[in-house]
Structure formats: C-alpha cells, structure tokens
Structure 1
Amino acid sequence: MTANRQPAEDGERGPSDSPPPTALITGAAHGLGLEVARQLAATGVRVVIAARDPQRAAEAAHPLDGVDALPVGLDIGSPTSVAGAAEALAAHPGRLDILINNAAASPDRFETATGADLGTAAEVVQVNLFGAWRMTQAFLPLLRRSDHPRIVNVSSGAGSHTDEQYGFPLFGGAAATHGISKAALNGFTAVLAAELADTPVIVNAVCPGVTATQPGAEHLGARPVEDSAPGIVWAATLPDDGPRGGFFRDRQPLGW
C-alpha cells in the first residue's frame, strides 16, 4: 500500500497503543468516495481506498494524510478481483473495521423499464446489488474480528417508494434500472442487518443525495461532495447502540 505518514522511530507508539480502526472504501479514486475517505481519515480512522485502476487509487491517496490505496485493482463485479482484494487487505494491514460499499454503476437517467436493454440492466444490477453483496461476503471474515465492525451501503432515494425528493413516483419511471437496483440494495441491507442482529456488525444504507461527482454537476442542482459525505461518515462511525438495518440521508431516516 502507499503510505502517507512517516513511520515511528523504534520503540515509539502513537497516542494510543491500540491501532486505529481501518476502513475500506470501494470506488474511491475520485468524487464522493474520495471525499468520504478524507473526512473519515480526519476522525482518526485509517482509510484504504480501492478502485479498478490501482494506480489511480494510489495517486488519489498520495496527498491525503491517513489514506492509503489498496495495491491491487478492485472490480466489484468480478469475483476473482474481489477475492484478490480480500487477500491483499488480509495480508496488510490484516484487519478491517469498516466496509463502505460506495462503487456503483452510473445511472442512465432516461432509461425506462419498457425500453431498457436487459443485458445492460443486468450489468447495472450486477454492480449495484451483487457487487455490494459480493464484497460483504468476501470481507465479513475480517470484519468479524473487529470489536466495532460497520458496513455502509451507499444507496439512493431513487430506490424508495416514499422519498419525496427522488422516489419512484416522481420521475415517470425514468432511471429505471438505477432505482430498481438501489431498492434491491436497500432490501439486501435490511436482510443482512437482520441476520447479523445478534453480532457486533452494524449494517445500514445511506443516500448521499444528488451529488456533484463530476465537474459541472453543481449546475444541474447537485450538491458538492463535501456536503454529501458526512452522512456516510456518520453511518461508518456509529456507536455500538446505533441503528441497524436503516436507510438514511443526512443522518435522518428515510422510508423505502
């Protein structure tokens, strides 16, 4: 991994003998994922960012204190890639306390259910639903070793029946696969949280709102990544008695 802090002198320890918690964020070489990494690292968490191109991840991590890059590429749509990433993280740093499933397919905002190409739709679902599912299965063994494990699935109000900003009824069925895949991700979050209810693993989904992950998106009404990231950081750092299986935006519960 690329390290951004100078190693301590022999015999020196940091302010605490306990190592800081470690977080892994997918799809984090730019945009929202990278901003979440920056804000999470500022809380004292050691953050590892991952992307399909490990060089891009390394370049993105380099200027950020407390942020490293996974040394291998991570394509959440590929079982082989996910398995390799899990092996790399198990080797170094050898622990995981927070998994943030941020990577997602770009939405086609004009696609409708009746006009959708189902091959393309299946690829989107493969990333948005099965990518997070695959990551969870692969990294759960490491998370189970943590005293305070957290999983955050970055979802969308587009997968909600009741969200008054982005829900299903508002846009005439547009962005169909995006909404369907995020509704499925919300369902996965609820099912996973129920399965893990008697464990320390806290699982939630977060809608970051329409976010300017690309230059110029602010002109289309998107808010800056700096405003969308805190809700994800909050879910990643919940106390042990925090909510489970919920769907949130800006720390407030959403219906779905």
Structure 2
Amino acid sequence: MKSALITGANRSIGLETAKQLSEKGLFVYLGSRDLQKGEAVVRELNEKGFRNLKAIEIDVTDPASISAAKNLIEKDQGKLDILINNAGILGTNPQTAAETSVKDIQHVFDTNFFGVISVTQAFLELLKKSESPRISNITSGLGSLTLHSDPTWKYYDVKTAGYGTSKAALNAYTIVLAYELKDLPFKVNAIDPGYTATDFNHHSGPGSVESAASFIVKHTLTDDNAPTGQFYSNDIEDEIGISPW
C-alpha cells in the first residue's frame, strides 16, 4: 500500500485530498499542527467509512515537529511514496508592496516557502526509498509572473506582496528541485488547485474543494512517463491545465 503525507490536511482542500487518496487505497497521513484537531477529523472520517488514515502532528515552521513526523512515518512505513506540501497561509490583508512590513512578509514565507523546503528536505530520505516518489507543491495562480504581467488576466488586480511572491518563490524552488531529481523516478510539480471556496478566502472562490482536490490527485498519482517540473492550474481551461510561470 502506497503512503502519502499531506501537510495542512485537517480542513478544506487538504482534507478533501486526504479523503480522495484514501478512497483510492492509499494510506494517508493527515498532517495537522494541532494533533487533537487532526485526530478528531480522522475519527469523523472513520465514522463515514474512510479507512487508512492517521493524524500526524506537523508544524512546517518547527524543525523539531518535522523531524518527529519523519521519524514516526519511518517507523510505521519505512518509506514515503507521496509528499503533498499543502500547508499555507494568506497573511495580512491588504498586502501592498510599499507598506506591508518585512516581518509580515517573512511570516508568510516561513510557512509557504521555507516550510516547504524544510519538510521536503527532511522527507527526501524516505521518498528515495519509494519506487515512484511524488512531490506536489500546492501553489496558486497568484504565483505566476506571466499572468501577473498580463492586464487581461481576470485576477490581474489581485496583487499580494507576501502571499503571491511566496508562491512565485515556491514555483521557482519546484523547478530547481525537479531538475536535481530528474535522474531518479521522482515527479516534482507545482499544482494550483484554482480559486476555491474555502475558509482561506472567506469562501469567495468559485471552485469547489472536491474539484480542487481531484485536480491535485490527478497530477500527483501520475505514471512513470508523466512530466516533472511542471506548473499545473485548475483555472487553466484546457484538458491538461499547464500554467505559464
């Protein structure tokens, strides 16, 4: 049975992704900063018939928490097949380039960018033991420099000095990581689930968590011939959904 770790999975898109992977027969570690909240969610899912789920405490900004999570999964599984770096924060609002403090921007980067790097580096050892390791970095269309430079883009006026730039940095990191692992069976991709109605945005997005999670699962459970180092977006209206960087 393949195993997957999803950070920030106790609600919204992360939770729905855990449910869909569980339905496909994977053992899913449901990452949560608060273990009690994660365990409560797993109990609810078990009552609804979901199986092969385990809550795991992981704060992507806390090295000790990341190490403990890695050790637990190593003891349980001996390896990890899939890492979905889903945990993220929006930060303060508004986020103007001229006035948002460095402290506020750093706070967003700590989770959305440096947190991903910390988790990924910690789990690479276990992922390399998998026959078909996958790393999916959950990003946003707001991280696309090309789209942000296009006045005709429907979200052109949504500029965020912390959130958007942290996702642009995450996209760049994804490219570098995919390149470094290209001679191994890894598939490393940035996946934008699209503008989705969640607590994250006060349910303002037009997309559903089911569609968002399905898109993540589609571009994570890929075969050996699938691309690596790509940027996929659920907001791109074509069959594949490749987004410009």
CA contact 1:204–1:244 (8 Å) conserved in 2: yes
Does residue 148 of structure 2 align to residue 159 of structure 1? no
- Change in CA separation of 1:93 and 1:162 when aligned onto 2, cut-off 3 Å: same
3-state secondary structure, aligned to 1:204: strand
Separation (CA, whole Å) in 2 of partners of 1:216 and 1:159: 16
Kindly state the Cα deviation for residue 44 of structure 1 after the two structures are TM-superposed.
1.5
User: Residue type matched to 1:137 in 2?
Assistant: Q
3-state secondary structure, aligned to 2:32: coil
Equivalent residue runs for 1:52-63 within 5 Å: 52-62=33-43, 63=45
CA contact 1:61–1:69 (8 Å) conserved in 2: yes
Q: Which runs of 5+ in 1 are unaligned?
A: 1-19
| TM-score normalised over the length of structure 1 | 0.85
3-state secondary structure, aligned to 1:88: helix
**What residue is the counterpart of 2:192 in the other structure?**
207
Identify which of 32, 36, 44 aligns with 1:51. Answer: 32
Equivalent residue runs for 1:89-168 within 5 Å: 89-163=73-147, 164-166=153-155
Q: Which runs of 5+ in 2 are unaligned?
A: 148-152, 235-239
CA contact 1:54–1:69 (8 Å) conserved in 2: no
CA contact 2:7–2:32 (8 Å) conserved in 1: yes
Identify which of 149, 161, 171 aligns with 2:157. Answer: 171
| TM-score normalised over the length of structure 2 | 0.89
Kindly state the Cα deviation for residue 165 of structure 1 after the two structures are TM-superposed.
4.2
Percent identity over the alignment is 39
Kindly state the Cα deviation for residue 215 of structure 1 after the two structures are TM-superposed.
9.1
User: Residue type matched to 2:136 in 1?
Assistant: V
3-state secondary structure, aligned to 1:197: coil
Identify which of 198, 201, 225 aligns with 2:183. Answer: 198
Deviations 1:139-197 (A, max 9, x none): 0100000001000000001011233344xxx126x321101000000000000000000
Equivalent residue runs for 1:235-250 within 5 Å: 235-250=219-234
Separation (CA, whole Å) in 2 of partners of 1:99 and 1:165: 31
Structure with max Cα Rg: 1
Equivalent residue runs for 1:184-195 within 5 Å: 184-195=169-180
**What residue is the counterpart of 2:10 in the other structure?**
29
- RMSD of equivalent CA atoms: 1.7
Separation (CA, whole Å) in 2 of partners of 1:228 and 1:210: 8
Kindly state the Cα deviation for residue 79 of structure 1 after the two structures are TM-superposed.
1.1
Deviations 1:108-137 (A, max 9, x none): 342111111111111111111111111110
Aligned positions, number: 231
Structure 1's consecutive aligned runs of 4 or more residues displaced over 6 angstroms after TM superposition are none
Deviations 1:39-61 (A, max 9, x none): 11111111111110011111112
Separation (CA, whole Å) in 1 of partners of 2:13 and 2:169: 21
Kindly state the Cα deviation for residue 216 of structure 1 after the two structures are TM-superposed.
8.9
3-state secondary structure, aligned to 2:5: strand
